[in-house]
Amino acid sequence: MAKVAVIGAGPAGLIAAEVLARAGAEVVVFERMAAPARKLLLAGRGGLNLTHSEDFPAFLARYRPQAPALLGAVRDFPPASLVAWCEALGIETFVGSSGRVFPRVMKASPLLRAWLARLAAMGVVLRARHQLVGIEGTTCRFATPDGEVAFETEAVLLALGGASWPRLGSDGGWVGLLPEVPITPFAPSNCGFGIAWSPMLQRHAGAPLKRIALRHGPLEARGEAVLTEGGVEGGAVYALSGALRQAIERTGAAQFHLDLRPDMTVEAIRARLATRSRAETVSARLRKAVGLSPVAIALVQELLHAGAAGGDLAQLVKALPLTTRATAGLARAISSAGGIAWEALDERFMLRARPGVFAAGEMLDWEAPTGGYLLQGCFATGVAAARGALAWLGR
């Protein structure tokens, strides 16, 4: 029976442990935190978005970069497989109105409890408070509360996470343990962006912008956004975060447009505004004719006073120009881009420079929007790396 160390007890690590154990391997999972899957539990507080039900070619197009190994992993373990796996745990799922797939209980904790029970029944051992400090061949060294320990094994599967949410264990600190492995620098993904609001707009911090659209070049994302004291965040912003971040990296700034009424044409908005009396304030006209919220009105007024769109009120409602010069930062990002470069892996997800050492999950160089794509990618690469390890062990 082969002995395998899985390092990292997030979704990628735990699903890899399950695949390995099901094939007969002796699996020990090591986790630096006091409990497994801390980030998964946090994600589940607002309803655990497992995957998405959209057309599969469109689903695959959400991933960047379009690395063949990444896309192949998702093809081999697609959304239907993830849903079937979840329901086999006794956790029913449903498809929401947005096409996103959730557990019916809308929480991560019942799923995690059932999953850990299944792993324990399969003989998987979980060792918490074990922080990886070195790998020599396939022997791992860990710092523990009782001192440093070594674990000899036949294969190592790394699922150490990216560099977002460091307080939950994903701080990218593992990079120094693999000095010979090509690493794409980490960058925030699914993050907010900084905008220098006036004091008037800062008073609206925390206010939501609902049923809006954001556009950056040919890209468009519908959903919601939230004003922060120093910028903007939210689902629609996250969907464009990769393109906005890259524009900032290229030119130092990124402009995008906010459509406050995406289901209306500019002509329809102009016609509605024309029905209001010129004696009314701009605020009253926008509220009564177009139904804008106070924060949306404040945004239009600020850009109107700055002379944007030549003072065309209807055009500002449809395409309010905003400029950002910085992300909100890696520590506050939902996920991270960057990590182990794809050319560092062979077709089995094994590090070319480290025979017997495999990698999966967010520590690889990929990004995707929120909406189920992140978890799907973690599960799929975890399965692929585990299958790769089994193939290597059976060489």
CATH, residue 33: 3.50.50.60
pLDDT score of 44 more than 80? no
Q: Half-sphere exposure (CA, 13 Å, Cβ side) for 296?
A: 27
Same domain, 103 and 22: yes
Same domain, 226 and 101: no
Same domain, 30 and 114: yes
pLDDT score of 358 more than 80? yes
Task: Give all strands of the β-sheet with 139-144 in edge-to-edge order.
Answer: 131-136, 139-144, 147-152
Same domain, 77 and 119: yes
pLDDT score of 45 more than 80? no
Count of structural domains within the chain: 2
Identify the domain containing residue 56 by its residue range: 3-188+335-393
Same domain, 32 and 147: yes
Gap between the Cα atoms of 106 and 41, Å rounded: 11
| Boundary residue ending a domain (327, 344, 359) | 327
Mean pLDDT of the chain: 95
Ranges 214-218, 228-232, 276-280, 379-383: which has the least confidence: 276-280
Of the candidates 230, 145, 189, which has an alpha carbon nearest to the alpha carbon of residue 333?
Answer: 189
Same domain, 225 and 259: yes
Same domain, 53 and 94: yes
pLDDT of residue 168: 81
Name the band, by pLDDT with cuts 50, 70 and 90, for residue 382: very high
The predicted model scores a pTM of: 0.92
Ranges 285-289, 329-333, 387-391: which has the least confidence: 329-333
The listed range with the strongest mean pLDDT (38-47, 71-80, 97-106) is 71-80
pLDDT of residue 311: 83
pLDDT digits (tens, 9 = 90+) for 109-143: 999 999 999 999 999 999 999 999 999 999 999 99
pLDDT of residue 278: 82
Same domain, 19 and 109: yes
Name the band, by pLDDT with cuts 50, 70 and 90, for residue 306: confident
Same domain, 297 and 351: no
Same domain, 373 and 308: no
| Boundary residue ending a domain (327, 350, 372) | 327
pLDDT of residue 170: 85
Same domain, 181 and 220: no
